[in-house]
A = this chain, B = another copy of it.
Amino acid sequence: MKATYKDVKSDIMSKITKGDWAPGSLVPNEIELAAIYGCARATVNRAMRELADDGIIERRRKAGTRVRSSPIRQARFDIPLVRREIEDKGAEYRYSLAGRAVEPAPDWLRARLNLGTGSKVLHLICMHYADGDPYQHEDRWINLGMLPQAEDADFTQTGPNEWLVATVPFSDAEISFSAGLADAKLADYLASKEGDPVFTIERSTWWEGQAITYVKLCFRPGHRMTTRY
């Protein structure tokens, strides 16, 4: 008898997917559900809270709980270290540093990260290989105002990503995916042709409102980012 929160969750889920509870309709309140399932209200609460987190239902105090009319489906993507991503595929990982310079932050970067006019940044160009083949091109910019010690770090052996996760935390990040074209330079790095489509990830991170780093990652042609849910 006594239902667990998983029982309650999956039973309600099936009521919704089977159409017993139509989209937009009002769901019994927690006390009623607790009586129906013969469990404590806290148990029902946990089930409902998870369904709300999953975007299946919508809860409001006093107004009650409703089935979402068009369920907001969400997908979760892991953002792993490139090295782990490659090694998890069973391939051998290799890294190389292709460029390093300390520069004043260019205008587009200042705008993107909300940096002041005098800001200095460390600019790195890196390549990541899987079994010797180009896998990912990394165009990395680190805010030296926040991380002066980055200037003395040795990025010839390990990538800046690994250094960063070990060195600084971040409180806030923005990530975006898009499709771009390989120019001559990028095509050369990725051993592909100019005009090939490249899957691109851009990420900016902040710590307590201060920009830490911006990175643009370009994958070899054919790359897919996949998840199940």
The A159-202 residues at the B interface (CB cut-off 8 A) are 162, 165-166, 169, 171-181, 195-200
> Residues of A within 8 Å of B, CB-based: how many?
48
Judge whether A197 and B181 touch: CB under 8 Å: yes
Q: Are A78 and B74 in contact (CB under 8 A)?
A: yes
Is there contact, CB below 8 Å, between B71 and A165?
yes
Copies in the complex: 2
Cβ A198 vs Cβ B174 within 8 A = no
CB-nearest residue of chain B to A170: B17
Q: Report Cα–Cα, A80/B224, bound state, in Å.
A: 20
A40 to B: closest C-beta gap in Å: 12
The contact string, 1 if C-beta is below 8 Å from chain B, for chain A 3-40, is 00000000000001110000100000000000000000
Cβ contact of A76, chosen from B23, B71, B74, B224, cutoff 8 A: B74
User: Is A227 at the interface (CB under 8 A from chain B)?
Assistant: yes
Q: Assuming A166-B23, A177-B199, is B171 touching A17 (CB within 8 A)?
A: yes
Q: Interface code A213-227, partner B: CB below 8 Å = 1, 0 otherwise?
A: 000000001111111
| Interface pair A75/B79, CB less than 8 Å apart | yes
From B55, B76, B78, B228, A172 is in contact (CB under 8 Å) with B228
Point out the residue from B165, B177, B181, B197 that lies within 8 Å of A225, measured CB to CB: B177
Contact of A198 with B179 in the complex, beta carbons under 8 Å: yes
Report the minimal beta-carbon distance from A68 to chain B, rounded to whole angstroms: 10
A60: interface (CB < 8 Å): no
Which of B76, B169, B227 has a CB less than 8 Å from the CB of A176?
A: B227
CB pair A165 B228 closer than 8 Å: no
Q: List 20 A-B contacts (CB under 8 A).
A: A16-B169, A17-B169, A70-B84, A70-B165, A73-B78, A73-B79, A73-B173, A74-B79, A77-B77, A173-B228, A174-B227, A174-B228, A175-B227, A176-B225, A177-B225, A178-B224, A179-B180, A179-B221, A179-B223, A195-B195
Chain A to chain B: the 10 pairs with minimum beta-carbon distance, closest first: A17-B169, A179-B179, A176-B226, A179-B197, A179-B199, A73-B79, A197-B197, A178-B224, A177-B225, A176-B224
